[in-house]
């Protein structure tokens, strides 16, 4: 059994030497993949990834392992930044270009937590209705807008949104029912994002 | 279903309307446009006990799952990883308080140097961390956009920046309406064309970021229900969040504006004192500074 690594974000928040490099090594692949799916070209993705890591570094002190896993926290910040960039620039997501450089030789270590979270989510996702799966996959994995999904699938715009909404809410319910650690949606300590 | 009908018998908190979860889901899956974001902000204000990122987390978890399962996921090229690593460190190392939105003495120790958490374990980021973080953002922008003008860090550079941005508004700070700060001076400038802006502030009372932060608000004429007759104090008028910042000690600093929404035609700026992290809608209990066009403009 592989030991779960110490939460790197807590070390980043404490400004421990080397923690930032470790964070980028641990989550660089994930953030890069997310960025490449929504950014129009590698240069833009590079800018976005740098911006995302600076934002993660800035907000690492807000990470709470009782609320979300580190990979989820990282992906949440990354997605917010990427969606914001896309909307501000009103660029459409484009297909991934051929890779021109050698991949980062950094070994994909410390991925235990990522795999665990991914596995739990994957099982729950399979329980959604096929059309909900389709819409959420296109939106979240491929970065498609609801207009693009409607055009691609032939679904009415409102139906696309409905599938996404119900799918996400159902997914949350399934994860909570499966005992996956998720904070209460409604509670006395809720409120705004940082 | 009305709010009253959705009353939670246990704690008497009215359940939020479906519309709120629709918007939260839309934001998590697709993002929101300005109108939707404003609408959601208003709902979050009314139903502040709802964790607004509850569906963002689900979407993020799903994104992680998809990436993990996708064998075709692209690995980050080594040269890109190195450049990003260098860029992030450059951002972190550039701990110049003049850039950061924090006024006060600079501590040369930045970057990965250990610091004592200001608010206990996992709590509020300390002074040094905030300084370095804010600088990081500033430098990151510069690194990411090498062709853009350099972010001004002092009065002279800000004047030069204003000269290069003829479409920018520029107004002096004046004492606010509630708890006015009579001693603070400076100006605010914002260019709707580039969506960039800065505050030059001198002498504003220091804050303790563990308990409160300053927050900038921007009233945008194009967001007014009646753009020809802007009414900043009207209930249905919502200023744009311009970001939070801190002040420590005496000094003068240039603070970048971080507008959360597109601002088309600003006509009033105000600084309020809010809880750490800022708020979606200010109660305007403390408004030390405002800036508006001169009355004869």
A12-21, A148-157, B64-73, B255-264 — which is least confidently predicted?
A: B64-73
What are the chain B neighbours of A30 within 8 Å (beta carbons)?
Answer: 64, 67
Residue B271 has phi, psi (to 5 degrees) of -110, 130
Together in a domain, B57 and B104: no
> How many domains are contained in chain B?
2
How large is the average pLDDT for residues A151-176?
90
- List pLDDT tens digits, range A37-85: 888 788 888 989 998 998 898 888 878 777 778 888 999 999 988 888 8
pLDDT of residue B16: 75
A101-110, B90-99, B240-249 — which is least confidently predicted?
A: A101-110
CB nearest B68 (choices: A54, A115, A188): A115
CB nearest B63 (choices: A18, A106, A141): A141
Q: How far apart, in whole angstroms, are the C-alpha atoms of residue B18 and residue A76?
A: 23
Q: Which residue has the higher pLDDT, B103 or B182?
A: B182
pLDDT of residue A78: 93
Location of structure tokens 């240039």: B254
- ipTM of predicted complex: 0.78
Query: Token digits for B166?
Result: 């003829």
How large is the average pLDDT for residues B134-142?
32
Which of A114-118, B118-122, B282-286 has the highest mean predicted lDDT (pLDDT)? B282-286
Together in a domain, B64 and B150: no
A30-39, A77-86, A121-130, B99-108 — which is least confidently predicted?
A: B99-108
Together in a domain, B238 and B158: yes
Residue A79, classed as helix, strand or coil, is helix
A12-21, A156-165, B192-201 — which is least confidently predicted?
A: A12-21
Q: How far apart, in whole angstroms, are the C-alpha atoms of residue B284 and residue B281?
A: 9
pLDDT of residue B90: 82
Together in a domain, B231 and B97: yes
Residue B92, classed as helix, strand or coil, is helix
Instruction: Give the class (CATH, top level) of A1-92.
Output: mainly alpha
| Average pLDDT along chain B | 73
What are the chain B neighbours of A36 within 8 Å (beta carbons)?
Answer: 74
Question: Given an 8 Å threshold on Cβ–Cβ distance, is B48 in contact with A119?
Answer: no
Together in a domain, B134 and B210: yes
Question: Given an 8 Å threshold on Cβ–Cβ distance, is B113 in contact with A15?
Answer: yes
- Hey, of A109, A158, A174, A185, which one would you mutate to test binding to chain B, going by the most B CBs within 10 A of its CB? A185
Together in a domain, B194 and B91: yes
Question: Given an 8 Å threshold on Cβ–Cβ distance, is B65 in contact with A145?
Answer: no
Together in a domain, B178 and B44: no
What are the chain B neighbours of A51 within 8 Å (beta carbons)?
Answer: 140-141, 144
pLDDT-derived band at A5 (thresholds 50, 70, 90) equals low
Question: Given an 8 Å threshold on Cβ–Cβ distance, is A191 in contact with B67?
Answer: no
Q: Which residue has the higher pLDDT, B35 or B2?
A: B35
What are the chain B neighbours of A64 within 8 Å (beta carbons)?
Answer: 122
**Minimal Cα–Cα distance from A19 to chain B, Å?**
7
Q: How far apart, in whole angstroms, are the C-alpha atoms of residue B88 and residue B90?
A: 5
Together in a domain, B104 and B221: yes
**What domain range includes position B185?**
85-291
pLDDT-derived band at A134 (thresholds 50, 70, 90) equals very high
DSSP state letter for B170: E
Q: Which residue has the higher pLDDT, B3 or A66?
A: A66
CA-based nearest residue in chain A for residue B8: A186
For residue A155, pLDDT over 80 is answered with: yes
Which of B73-82, B136-145, B147-156, B262-271 has the highest mean predicted lDDT (pLDDT)? B262-271
Together in a domain, B56 and B102: no
In a domain, residue B272? The reply is yes
- List pLDDT tens digits, range B159-184: 888 888 999 999 999 998 888 888 88
**Minimal Cα–Cα distance from B250 to chain A, Å?**
24
Which one of B69, B94, B126 terminates a domain?
A: B69
Question: Given an 8 Å threshold on Cβ–Cβ distance, is A172 in contact with B55?
Answer: yes
Q: Which fold has domain A126-179?
A: Arc Repressor Mutant, subunit A (1.10.10)
Q: How far apart, in whole angstroms, are the C-alpha atoms of residue B48 and residue A191?
A: 5
Question: Given an 8 Å threshold on Cβ–Cβ distance, is B144 in contact with A101?
Answer: no
Which one of B44, B69, B94 terminates a domain?
A: B69
Question: Given an 8 Å threshold on Cβ–Cβ distance, is B63 in contact with A34?
Answer: yes
Q: Which residue has the higher pLDDT, A25 or B142?
A: A25
- List pLDDT tens digits, range B43-93: 887 776 677 888 898 999 899 888 877 766 667 888 888 888 888 888 777
**Minimal Cα–Cα distance from A153 to chain B, Å?**
16
The domains of chain A are located at: 1-92, 126-179
In a domain, residue B119? The reply is yes
For residue B7, pLDDT over 50 is answered with: no
Question: Given an 8 Å threshold on Cβ–Cβ distance, is A80 in contact with B77?
Answer: no
Question: Given an 8 Å threshold on Cβ–Cβ distance, is A186 in contact with B16?
Answer: yes
Query: What's the sign of the alpha-carbon dihedral B83, B88, B90, B91?
Result: positive
pLDDT-derived band at A182 (thresholds 50, 70, 90) equals low
Q: Which residue has the higher pLDDT, A81 or B251?
A: A81
Which one of B37, B69, B101 terminates a domain?
A: B69
Q: How far apart, in whole angstroms, are the C-alpha atoms of residue B53 and residue B71?
A: 29
In a domain, residue B80? The reply is no
CA-based nearest residue in chain A for residue B46: A191
Report the 10 Å Cβ neighbour count for B224: 19
Question: Given an 8 Å threshold on Cβ–Cβ distance, is B85 in contact with A72?
Answer: no
In a domain, residue B79? The reply is no
Which of A21-35, A51-65, A90-104, A106-120 has the highest mean predicted lDDT (pLDDT)? A21-35
In a domain, residue B76? The reply is no
How large is the average pLDDT for residues B212-233?
84
Together in a domain, B90 and B22: no
**Minimal Cα–Cα distance from A189 to chain B, Å?**
6
pLDDT of residue B207: 83
- List pLDDT tens digits, range B18-28: 888 899 999 99
Together in a domain, B64 and B190: no
How large is the average pLDDT for residues B186-212?
88
Which segments within B173-275 are labelled E, that is strand? Answer: 174-178, 185-191, 196-202, 213-220, 240-247, 252-256, 266-274
Together in a domain, B65 and B100: no
pLDDT of residue A88: 67
């Amino acid at each position: 059994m592989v030991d779960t690594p110490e939460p790197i974000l807590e070390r980043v928040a404490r400004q421990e030497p080397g923690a930032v490099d470790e964070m980028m090594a641990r989550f660089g692949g994930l953030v890069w993949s997310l960025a490449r799916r929504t950014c129009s070209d590698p240069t833009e993705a590079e800018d976005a990834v740098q911006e995302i890591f600076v934002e993660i570094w800035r907000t690492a002190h807000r990470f709470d392992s009782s609320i979300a896993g580190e990979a989820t926290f990282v992906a949440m910040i990354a997605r917010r930044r990427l969606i914001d960039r896309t909307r501000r620039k009103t660029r459409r997501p484009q297909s991934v270009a051929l890779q021109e450089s050698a991949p980062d030789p950094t070994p994909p270590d410390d991925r235990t937590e990522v795999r665990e979270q991914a596995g739990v989510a994957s099982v729950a996702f399979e329980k959604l209705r096929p059309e909900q799966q389709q819409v959420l996959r296109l939106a979240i994995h491929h970065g498609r807008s609801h207009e693009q999904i409607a055009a691609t699938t032939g679904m009415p715009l409102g139906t696309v949104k409905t599938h996404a909404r119900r799918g996400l809410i159902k997914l949350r319910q399934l994860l909570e029912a499966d005992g996956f650690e998720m904070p209460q949606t409604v509670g006395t300590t809720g409120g705004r994002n940082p | 279903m009305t709010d009253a009908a959705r009353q939670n018998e246990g704690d008497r908190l009215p359940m939020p309307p479906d519309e709120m979860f629709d918007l939260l889901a839309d934001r998590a899956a697709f993002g929101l446009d300005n109108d939707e974001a404003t609408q959601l902000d208003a709902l979050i204000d009314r139903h502040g006990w709802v964790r607004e990122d509850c569906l963002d987390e689900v979407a993020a978890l799903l994104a992680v799952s998809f990436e993990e399962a996708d064998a075709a996921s692209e690995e980050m090229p080594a040269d890109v990883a190195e450049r990003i690593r260098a860029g992030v460190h450059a951002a972190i190392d550039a701990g110049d308080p003049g850039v950061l939105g924090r006024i006060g003495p600079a501590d040369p120790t930045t970057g990965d140097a250990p610091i004592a958490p200001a608010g206990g374990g996992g709590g509020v980021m300390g002074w040094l961390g905030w300084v370095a973080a804010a600088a990081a953002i500033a430098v990151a922008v510069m690194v990411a956009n090498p062709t853009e003008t350099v972010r001004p860090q002092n009065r002279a550079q800000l004047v030069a920046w204003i000269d290069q941005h003829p479409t920018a508004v520029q107004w002096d700070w004046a004492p606010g309406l509630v708890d006015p700060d009579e001693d603070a001076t400076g100006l605010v400038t914002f260019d709707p064309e580039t969506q960039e802006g800065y505050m030059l502030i001198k002498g504003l009372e220091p804050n303790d970021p563990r308990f409160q932060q300053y927050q900038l608000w921007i009233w945008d004429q194009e967001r007014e229900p009646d753009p020809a007759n802007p009414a900043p104090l009207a209930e249905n008028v919502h200023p744009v969040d311009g970001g939070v910042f801190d002040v420590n000690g005496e000094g003068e600093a240039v603070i970048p504006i971080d507008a959360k929404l597109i601002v088309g035609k600003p006509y009033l700026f105000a600084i309020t004192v809010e809880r750490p992290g800022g708020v979606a809608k200010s109660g305007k209990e403390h408004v030390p500074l405002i800036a508006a066009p001169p009355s004869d403009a």
